[in-house]
Amino acid sequence: MQPLERREAILVLDFGSQYSRLITRRVRECQVYSELVPATTTLAQLQQKIHLDIKGIILSGGPASVYDADAPTCDPAILHSGIPVLGICYGMQLLAQQLGGHVVHTSEQREYGPATIEVLADAAQDARISRIFAGITASPEQTIELDQPQNEDVGAGDSVWGTGKPRPSPQRSEAERVSILRPDWWSEADAPPIVDTPLRLPVWMSHGDSVAQLPPGFKVLACTENNPVAAIANPQGMVGLQFHPEVTHTPQGKEIIRNFLFRICGCTPAWTTGSVIEEAIEQIRRRVGQARVICGLSGGVDSAVAALLVHRAVGDQLTCVLVDTGCLRAGEREQVVETFSTHLHIPLVVVDARQRFLARLAGIIDPEQKRKIIGEEFIRIFEETAEQNVVVPLAGTRGGEQGGPIAFLAQGTLYPDVIESTSHDTATTATRIKTHHNVGGLPEEMNLHLVEPLRLLFKDEVREIGLALGMPEEWVWRHPFPGPGLAIRIIGAVDEQRLATLRAADAIVIDEIRRAGIYRELGQAFAVLTPLQSVGVMGDERTYANVVAMRAVTTGDFMTADWARLPPDLLARISHRIVNEVPGVNRVVYDITSKPPATIEWE
């Protein structure tokens, strides 16, 4: 494991792209640690992250134009620091503009959606320039010659909007193939460090501006039919890509990212499940010391994995607390008690706070207010539990000995929670999507200190850790359940009757999805009780009753999601059961909106 204080990292400067989080995720998939930081972050601030060995910087895309007066910029010191930089879309334009090039609006050369790039033969002959495309091969259907844009042999400071044709990409013998610079640890068994031309790759574009003049020392790497500058690079490890390698619509995008990480930045693939667990345990022990910890369980996988990590780190210093808010799913309380007390043997205290939460939520309609109320009540109950010292005695202690004081609260906060809540560690260009009860919903004054071992992890990383720690697979693959529970799946005011209605409808949704054998294929599925009522006919009588919405999505990292194409027969069975088995409901609708533009949860 790498030392805690010097973890290799790639930092992503967020200029507001919808794909910024996805870039971070793609880097981690290559087993290299990555963080998303504000675009305004300076080199001096980066150097204060003494626990990170910053191997490279990625400049994300963004909605602005670099020539706008208020366009966000990168600290020039970063670009002159010698750290390798990859600019994507807006990031490439910014890289070019700030290093002495020129960017223009190109209404006739705008590209949105699929495109094909061709790596130019001249660039491929320079091993220092073409590392970003090393070892990448195209499928046969990707070798059709492009109708290339007009272009001259562009040098530093020249205009790319010339009238000549780019040099053709000749077939070369094996001896003429280009060797690529690579880090010392790179194994000969890895992909051969060569660039074959012609190399034409399908990519995903989204831009209306283009680089019209290269900065000194840069060369054009690739072009498209409409744009003579689709990729640029210099020998010092500065690379610009006009397309988005992080999206699945760029099939070889992950290979391109790997080349930046390993061939250009010299990273080692050390961000693994085992190293994450080992490091998290050490950090928890350093932070907690001999104090006691309580961990709030919500019934979801995040809080459960957080509890397992803390328990692995400090053992019986941990006591889990399940707060029954009255907003749990059907059978949730019993399942949590069974799993933690019987299977995992972790001390558990159950607090029945149903009436307390319902009293605080009475008449509250605004979802942000709901989340803040629930977040505050959770904290107050945890503080009261800590003050009462209601914990199971340490193994081996006598009588009522309770060990040290309860000073810490462990939570299952994830990286997407932090990002969507736009807390202090996210980009200034980002907009708060919603407040998570365990991030922005916490009260300003708290008596307990937080322990959040999952704060820098995505959902799939958390699940891998859960499996490695011995959590039952059925629990690991449970669909996420928000801390505020059913309160934010009821649109409008929350009361016992509406909770009972939603709880029954939600149980039917999950039951039918399990029966259909597709539960694991879905990222999340649940019912929502809308504030709408509609006219219906039941038993030859007119009804005016509630409308229930059903939501089911497929996703990998929960930062983006698509609505699930469920079989019509399954939707019909769910609708039939809900209308017939749940009193007060006469209509069921299905949500067919992706994320973005919608979030997965309705509130």
Percent of all residues in the chain with a pLDDT value above 90, rounded to a whole number = 56
Residue 194 has pLDDT above 70, yes or no: no
CA-CA distance, 255 to 134, in Å (whole number)?
9
Q: Which two tokens stand for residue 310?
A: 């803390």
Q: Report the phi/psi class of residue 558: left, alpha or beta, with left for phi > 0 and alpha for psi in -120 to 50.
A: left
Under DSSP, is residue 287 helix (H, G, I), strand (E, B) or coil?
helix
pLDDT digits (tens, 9 = 90+) for 271-286: 999 999 999 999 999 9
What's domain 273-476's architecture? Answer: 3-Layer(aba) Sandwich (3.40)
CB–CB of 547/533 below 8 Å? yes
Least confident of 397-401, 416-420, 447-451, 565-569: 397-401
In three-state form (DSSP H/G/I as H, E/B as E, the rest C), the secondary structure along 344-371 is CCCCEEEEECHHHHHHHHCCCCCHHHHH
CA-CA distance, 477 to 258, in Å (whole number)?
29
- Provide the CA 511 distance to its chain's centre, in angstroms: 28
CA-CA distance, 395 to 408, in Å (whole number)?
20
Q: What angle do CA 461, 339, 401 make, to 5 degrees?
A: 105
Residues 344-354: what's their mean pLDDT? 90
| Best CA proximity match to 335, nearest among 326, 325, 322 | 322
Give the model's pLDDT for residue 403.
Answer: 56
Position 29 confidence tier, pLDDT thresholds 50, 70, 90: very high
pTM of this structure: 0.70
Domain segments of the chain: what residues?
4-264, 273-476, 489-590
Q: Do domains 4-264 and 489-590 have the same CATH topology?
A: no
Give the model's pLDDT for residue 358.
Answer: 96
Give the model's pLDDT for residue 149.
Answer: 40
Look-up: residue for tokens 């409008």?
492
Least confident of 71-85, 228-242, 447-461, 568-582: 447-461
CA-CA distance, 118 to 310, in Å (whole number)?
51
Local structure of residue 430 (DSSP, 8 states): -
CA-CA distance, 37 to 130, in Å (whole number)?
28
Residue 311 has pLDDT above 50, yes or no: yes
Q: Give strand ranges (E) for 219-291.
A: 219-223, 231-233, 238-241
Look-up: residue for tokens 């309705």?
602
Check: CATH 3.30.2350.10 for 4-264?
no
Give the model's pLDDT for residue 188.
Answer: 36
* Residues classed as catalytic: 89, 244, 246
CATH of domain 489-590: 3.30.300.10
Give the model's pLDDT for residue 399.
Answer: 35
